[in-house]
Each structure stands twice: as C-alpha cells, then as structure tokens.
C-alpha cells in the first residue's frame, strides 16, 4: 500500500470542505484513486463523480487518469479552468 497526498482545488475543495489529505491506497492509477475516493460516498461521490469534468495532476504536472501512481506522489484534483 502506498501513501499519497491528495489536494483539492476550487469547487471540489469547497464541496469537500477539505484542501489536502493523506490517503493510503492500492490504486495503480489516478483513475483508480478517483474511484476509491468516489466509493467513500457523500461529498466525495458527488464532487468527483464520473459525469463531472475533473482534471488531475501528479506532482504538479497535468496527467491523464491512466497515469501510474507512485508512493509519496502528490495528486491534485480540480475542475477545468476557464477564463479570458
């Protein structure tokens, strides 16, 4: 099992009332980690739901959900950013 730091930003942070947490996980990828978090139910299930547009970064690098997770990685979840 690995330990990862999960950071939440913008509307996801607001929905969870949490900006960072340490998570013990066996998830091999970002997608699997997201599914584990969704499985918690409640606010996590709603904020990270599969129908929602959610972006991810690993160690501050934008990543696809198929990206592998390493022990001690920092994973960030945030909504797509728009602006002008």
Predicted model pTM: 0.93
Q: What is the span of the domain harbouring residue 61?
A: 2-78
The yes-or-no verdict on residue 43 having pLDDT over 70 is: yes
Q: What percent of the chain has pLDDT over 90?
A: 94
- The domain that holds 50 is classified in CATH as 3.10.20.30
Is 84 within the bounds of a domain?
no
Is 83 within the bounds of a domain?
no
Question: Each residue of 46-83: pLDDT tens digit?
Answer: 999 999 999 999 999 999 999 999 999 999 999 987 55
Residues 7-13 have a mean pLDDT of 96
> What are the structure tokens assigned to 38, written together?
């969704």
Q: Which residues contact 66 (CB under 8 A, 6 or more apart)?
A: 29, 30, 31
Number of folded domains in the chain? Answer: 1
């Amino acid at each position: 099992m690995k330990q990862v730091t999960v950071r939440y930003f913008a509307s996801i942070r607001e929905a969870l009332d949490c900006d960072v947490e340490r998570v013990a996980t066996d998830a091999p990828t970002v997608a699997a980690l997201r599914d584990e978090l969704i499985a918690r139910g409640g606010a996590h299930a709603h904020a990270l739901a599969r129908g929602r547009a959610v972006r991810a970064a690993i160690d501050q690098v934008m990543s696809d959900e198929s990206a592998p997770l390493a022990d001690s990685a920092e994973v960030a979840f945030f909504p797509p950013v728009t602006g002008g």
